[in-house]
Structure 1
């Protein structure tokens, strides 16, 4: 805990290692109010469980006297198979409107990245195009993926007759019944060319999902997966990885079959512009009735984590995950 002063602001209490779910929920409510943005129900718990105190940084700022939330930032350290930190992803960075422009945001951001910079760990964030130049010049996030991320949103009521697809060469197993986790680990390592091991994170994510399925081929190899979570009557679908368009459609259909229309109003997908197949399927299923609600640049400092682009269709999260 640290007490900080900024010109034009009340005295600030900063907690550099916060795991207070109640405070996160307060920030979440304010985000929903100001920007109509909702995290899925188990978002914070999933990251706490998967990364713990060594891997998760939730830095918060509140007014010292009143404890009114002022701003926060979250960073996640991803490790390789040798348990060494290789990437810090930076997201969920928000300063309440009335506290902006006084240096508080820069203070939180600089503190978060300092340890990673000192240890020469690569950095990653998804940037609103308005902030791209600032991150690039001020913080050296000057390395870019060749593609962007797009968040797509559609009304569940606009989904018409969903074409059925049968693929005897693939099997989709519900994650709770899946046992070949070493094969899933091998599949996911392939997506980052072996640089980042996300197995424990995905196992945590799948347990907290509405539905998660893992696809294997006739040789027993993992070739795709899909997962869904709920946030404020919105179903977020991701990760959605598949080796080809047919398997993508099969996994999407399986996921949609598990949606309760009485409980959910919208579908959200965190897509990548390197693959248009999911966008085409969404257009087919809704008659083109969907919106692109956000486009962002994918920026790195230090070095770019490789990605096996052909598998990438929808991410589970664009704030803390990197593909």
Structure 2
């Protein structure tokens, strides 16, 4: 475990770059309890191997070896090779807040960004601060909502006529990547294949009557008994319904989970309709996050996004 420069931290605090898994697990315990941010166990490994570059900075109490604060940064490129940095996992345990530790980690990762474009999902209460202090001032007009369905209220719908869902096989990846490139102009073939194949994931693609891919998606079996609909991309409400029907049927021991969540752009009016189908209109949602960029906005076809991939390092 490599200890970085002290970053002017107070005595007794060390800053570690890309620490071992057990420190990420400690972090997961904290963010699950206080923020309800839940990941698959292998999420850290995914970020480490699937992005062009990845940094996870942790401030750690030297005496107890407890995690105090975290921030991460990933580097991706668009189809023309232009860099896009993404910042995520910005967190401090409650008892250490207000002491400037997290701010120093944030400043450190922004040194890697330099003058390049960077994006993050700003939480409602933090959005204005990110814009003012760190120049994440380019924002979508709409927000992303957090939606929650209790598993006992889940309804697995009938697949609408005209659609077929299937597991993703080796022969399907090229067409899936081509479809994904209509959603997101980032070179994320390695990331998406690893992501959809990761342990604790049920993924499917949906095909229409002509044999054309019209969507794909996954449900992630995450920490604290959470099922996460991420990503879910589809051409229509019926295609999204077909995907969720097929995916939910394949989730093992689904009744052992507590809830199904998704984070989605409120610009897509079909998402509440899908959630209503999946829950007999028994779901909860609230405004949660907003895209924020430093240099240049990236635009995505929001009407196709029923569930964002995740809010740490995926802009769509």
Query: With structure 1 as the length reference, what TM-score do the two structures score?
Result: 0.89
> Would you say 1:318 and 2:308 are equivalent positions?
no
1:304: Cα distance to partner?
1.0
Matched ranges for 1:252-263 at <5 A: 252-259=244-251, 260-263=253-256
CA distance in structure 1 between the partners assigned to 2:136 and 2:55 by the alignment: 20
Instruction: Check whether the contact 2:159–2:242 (CA below 8 A) recurs between aligned residues.
Output: yes
Does the CA contact (< 8 Å) of 1:10 and 1:63 recur in 2?
A: no
Match of 1:214 among 191, 201, 205: 205
Would the aligned equivalents of 2:7 and 2:104 in 1 still touch at CA under 8 Å? Answer: no
In the alignment, which residue of structure 1 is the partner of 2:150?
A: 155
2:38 is aligned with 1:28: no
Matched with 1:197 is 187
Deviations 1:4-42 (A, max 9, x none): 444xx5432112x31421111111112233334322232
For 1:215, what is the secondary structure of its paired residue?
A: strand
Q: Identify the residue that residue 145 of structure 1 maps to in structure 2.
A: 140
Structure 2 distance, partners of 1:33, 1:10, is 27
Report the counterpart of residue 181 of structure 1 in structure 2.
173
Gaps of 5+ in 1: none
Q: Which of 204, 211, 216 is residue 225 of structure 1 equivalent to?
A: 216
What does residue 13 of structure 1 align with? Answer: 14
- Displacement of 1:283 in angstroms is 1.9
Q: How large is the Cα RMSD of the aligned pairs?
A: 2.0
Q: Superposition pairs for residues 49-198 of structure 1, below 5 Å?
A: 49-51=49-51, 54-81=52-79, 84=81, 86-118=83-115, 120=116, 122-160=117-155, 162-168=156-162, 170-175=163-168, 177-192=169-184, 195-198=185-188
Deviation at 1:218, TM superposition (A): 4.6
Work out whether residues 75 and 112 of structure 1, in 8 Å CA contact, stay in contact via their aligned partners in 2. yes
**Shift in alpha-carbon separation, 1:10–1:96, aligned structure 2, 3 A:** farther
Does the CA-based 8 Å contact 1:78-1:196 persist in structure 2? yes
Change (3 A) 1:197 1:4: closer
For 2:311 and 2:150, how far apart are their aligned partners in 1? 21
Structure 2 Cα separation of the partners of residues 2 and 280 of structure 1: 51
Structure 2: state its 5+ residue gaps: none
Q: Between Structure 1 and Structure 2, how many residues are aligned?
A: 310
Displacement of 1:294: 5.3
State the TM-score, normalized to the length of structure 2: 0.90
Distance 1:57 1:237 in 2: 26
* CA distance 1:294–1:309, shift in 2 (3 Å): closer
Q: How far did residue 90 of structure 1 move? A: 0.9
Q: Is residue 87–residue 312 contact of structure 2 (8 Å, CA) maintained in 1?
A: yes
